[in-house]
Amino acid sequence: MIRFKQVTKRLGGRNVLDDLSFEIKKGEIFIIVGPSGTGKSVTLKHMVRLLTPTSGSVWIDDTEISAANGGELDRVRERFGYLFQGGALLGWISVADNIALPLREKTKVSEEEIAQRVADALRMVGLENDGDKFPSEISGGMQKRAGLARAIVRRPEIVLYDEPTSGLDPVTARTIDRLIKRLNEELGITSVVVTHDLQGALLSADRIAMLNGGRFVEVSEPKTFVASDQPEVRGFLDAQFISKKGLAGM
């Protein structure tokens, strides 16, 4: 469904992505891990053409999004929901209005239905009492959850999550993990998740990819991933006290 063909992206004088090729299948939860500053967010941004490859191409089904423009680009983007690392809510409208924004601006849904869907989305992320507040009045973790609600309110086919659980307490983090899993199972949403939290990743992923030095040094199912002998992967797993046997419940 999402295919990178030999994507190289040059930023600030170095190749952040270096000849990166992979494919994400429809309906899977694909998790990208990797050290800070290796280009995980950059990879996500290529999927919706917020960045364009220096060379290579990015395909969403049969559309080359890295070359799409105008109406074609809009149509592809409409299939996506995107949770930004910082939430990216608009500061001068309330949380509920932020979540309603994509419905109000781009669909003809009635105000009652919008209210209903916004309330549903708020409840899903545990913010049912905070809809009337402004983004500056809620915490960073709550802003991120509100951003998540906005990303899914239009029921997109594909959702890109940039660190959905960082900055959240462990309990809320697991709730979000379960939410991602539930959206995937119930609505068949294809999910691409960038995270540092391997524990959560191992429990929900279909496949995990480790980005390092502009390429995936390992792409595999959780069971294979924890058993990997790649030094970068081992270092990452060791740092989170995960042994080759993996986690209970995997």
Chain positions contacting other proteins, by CB under 8 A: 10-13, 45, 48-52, 74, 77-78, 80, 82, 84-86, 88-91, 101-102, 104-106, 147, 150
Q: Is 164 in the site for ligand ATP (CB under 6 A)?
A: no
Q: Tell me: does residue 11 bind ligand ATP (CB under 6 A).
A: yes
Q: Residue 67 gets which letter from DSSP?
A: G
List CB contacts of 133: < 8 A, sequence separation 6 or more: 94, 95
CB under 5 to 8 A by kind: which of Mg ion, ligand ATP, other proteins, none does 42 bind?
A: ligand ATP
Contacts for 1 with CB less than 8 Å, ≥ 6 apart: 23, 24, 25, 26, 60, 61, 158, 190
Chain-centroid distance of CA 159 in Å reads: 6
CA proximity to 2, closest of 39, 48, 42: 48
Binding mask of the shown chain, residues 80 to 119, with x at each position contacting ligand ATP by CB under 6 A:
-----x----------------------------------
Question: Measured from the CB of residue 74, what is the shortest distance to other proteins in angstroms?
Answer: 4
Between strands 215-220 and 14-24, the pairing is unpaired
Which range, of 37-45, 57-65, 99-107, 122-130, touches Mg ion by CB under 5 A?
37-45
Question: Does 41 sit near Mg ion (CB under 5 A)?
Answer: yes
Residue number, 118 or 198, with CB nearest to Mg ion:
198
184 binds ligand ATP (CB under 6 A): no
The C-alpha angle with vertex 86 and arms to 154 and 132, in degrees rounded to 5, equals 60
Residue 16 in contact with ligand ATP, rule: CB under 6 A: yes
Count the Cβ atoms, other than its own, within 10 Å of residue 20: 25
Residues of this chain that interact with Mg ion (CB under 5 A) are: 41
